[in-house]
Amino acid sequence: MSEFNLSRHAELRLGQRNFRRADIEVVLECGTLIAADAYLMRKADADREVAALKHEIQRIERLTNVKVVVAEGTVVTSYRSRPDDQRRTLRRGRSSR
C-alpha cells in the first residue's frame, strides 16, 4: 500500500511525532488491520518482519563468493569462486570496459 494521501493534520502530526512517510508505509504494509480504518504494528508483526529480513540476510551471506556465469540469458554454471578467480575476473572485467 504505497499509494496513500496525507491530510494536512497528518503531515503536521508526523513532523511533531518524528515519523516519516516511509514509517507509515511500513505500518500499513506490515501491521495488523484492527478496524476498517486503522492499522497497528504489533510486536508480533515487527518480530515476523525482522525474522524475514534476518532470513534474507542469512541467504545473502550464504551466497557470498558465488559466481554465476550467464550466456545469452541462460545460466551456464555456478560455483564458489576462490580469491584468485575473483581477482582475475575483476581485473579482466575492468580492462575490457
Per-residue pLDDT tens over the stretch 28-45: 999 999 999 999 999 999
Domain match, 57 and 73 both: no
To the question of pTM greater than 0.85 for the whole model, the response is: no
Residue listed under C-alpha cell 511500513: 26
Domain match, 50 and 76 both: no
Q: Look up the domain containing 80 and give its range.
A: 65-95
Domain match, 19 and 39 both: yes
Domain membership of residue 47 (yes or no) is: yes
CA 85, CA 69: separation in Å to the nearest integer? 13
CA 10, CA 17: separation in Å to the nearest integer? 10
Domain membership of residue 73 (yes or no) is: yes
User: Measuring CA to CA, which residue among 74, 13, 63 is closest to residue 21?
Assistant: 13
Domain match, 38 and 74 both: no
Domain membership of residue 3 (yes or no) is: no
pLDDT for 47-72, tens place per residue?
999 999 999 999 999 999 999 999 99
